[in-house]
Amino acid sequence: MRFTVPLLVVALLCLGGGGRVAASTDFNFPAVFNFGDSNSDTGGRVAAGFEAIFPPYGSTFFGGPAGRFCDGRLIIDFLMEAIDMPLLNAYLDSLGTPSFWTGVNFAQAGCSITPAKPTSVSPFSFGLQIKQFFAFKDKVTKLLSKGDMYRKYIPQEDYFSEGLYMFDIGQNDLAGEFYSKTEDQVIASIPTILLEFENGLKKLYDQGARKFWIHNTGPLGCLPQNIALFGKDPSQLDELHCVAKHNRAAKLFNLQLHALCTKLRGEFAGASITYVDIHTIKYSLIANYSLYGFEHATQACCGYGGPPLNYDGNVPCGQTVSLNGKLVTAKGCSDTTEFVNWDGLHYTEAANFHIASQILTGKYSDPPFVDKMPFVIKPRF
């Protein structure tokens, strides 16, 4: 199973032209500002010093750890490449003179939409990411006023109103709650979570943001970590052997998120809001993995313990620990393209490529842009 980026590039070329200048209005933006969790974190958590990640992370594409919780590129990486733009640098990454000219990534692994608690994995909640964005924008404005010295490293002032604002967040709000709450309690918390999200979107809109691209959350119950912890009782699993309650909560979250996007279209004058159904894409991939060239749907590529999940929370991917008096290592698999899941929580580069290619068909979005596509993208698996 092999794949190449040009298929994604062709997809966007078919939308109306090559590159930022000639692209259709749907994709004609000079910069991308991303907010999210580990699904789109391109180095924020590592740059913040919360943890280091070790080989084999990044081995498929970057040659080593690159701040991403994956063996290679994330969905956002493929989307950026498809629209012929540089990969996004993390806001907190100050090494290597990172360029933020075409955007910046505020995503942080482990973060949630709701404010962080003392027990939270990350303090960088959605609200804090929004504050970081405003601090970034303010600093950019001041630097631009000083002349051309910094212009090649930072966005131009009009990029903030013309740029694309991307969001992939909410997974941790739901998954984290299941450790201490019942399914009904988790579901009851969804309106509060989405109210916090809505408030953040309104703050961005009030500051000039007009193009919003919002991913819903995936099938949480199909992550090996959740299956290992909450799926010991077979009666709790669905037809795909995923944890049913997690998937039900994700679906209800997505229904309410979709409704919120519809409501905001009526309130945000002059704005475009695209809702992307990541859940359907991911669930279909797991349900039909062999049709897409994969051999393992819910078994981690990099983990410890062997089939069926190859996941042990005590032995993180790439690390060697003492387990029952014996040193054990969570190693990567020999061929990552055979696996949908990378480390028990995140997807492989191969799966991310598949998901990105499906996003770019336009048929999983509301409003859809499939009518602008002369063909459906078929990854070369």
Of 215, 279, 296, 346, which one is the catalytic site residue? 346
Residue 192, both tokens: 């509060």
Transcribe 105-153 into DSSP letters: E---TT--SSPP-TT-S-S--HHHHHHHHHHHHHHHHHHHTT-STTTTT
Which tokens is 210 given? 């007009």
To which H or E segment does residue 320 belong? strand 320-323
- Residue 180 annotated in active site: no
CA distance 241 to 221: 9
CA distances from 187 to 115, 183, 193, 270, 357 (A): 18, 6, 10, 33, 31
- In degrees rounded to 5, what are phi and psi of residue 283? -65, -40
From the candidates 26, 37, 38, 365, which is the catalytic residue?
38
Q: What burial letters (b/e) apply to 86-98, b meaning 16+ CB within 10 Å?
A: ebbbbbbbeeeeb
HSE-CB for 315 with a 13 A CA cutoff: 21
* CA 370 to each of CA 99, 199, 209, 214, 375: distance values in angstroms, whole numbers, following the listed order: 33, 30, 25, 17, 9
The question of whether 38 is a catalytic residue gets the answer yes
Q: Catalytic: which of 168, 343, 357, 365?
A: 343
3-state secondary structure 4-23: CCHHHHHHHHCCCCCHHHHC
| 343 included as an active-site residue | yes
Tokens of 217: 């959350």
Residues with active-site annotation? 38, 343, 346
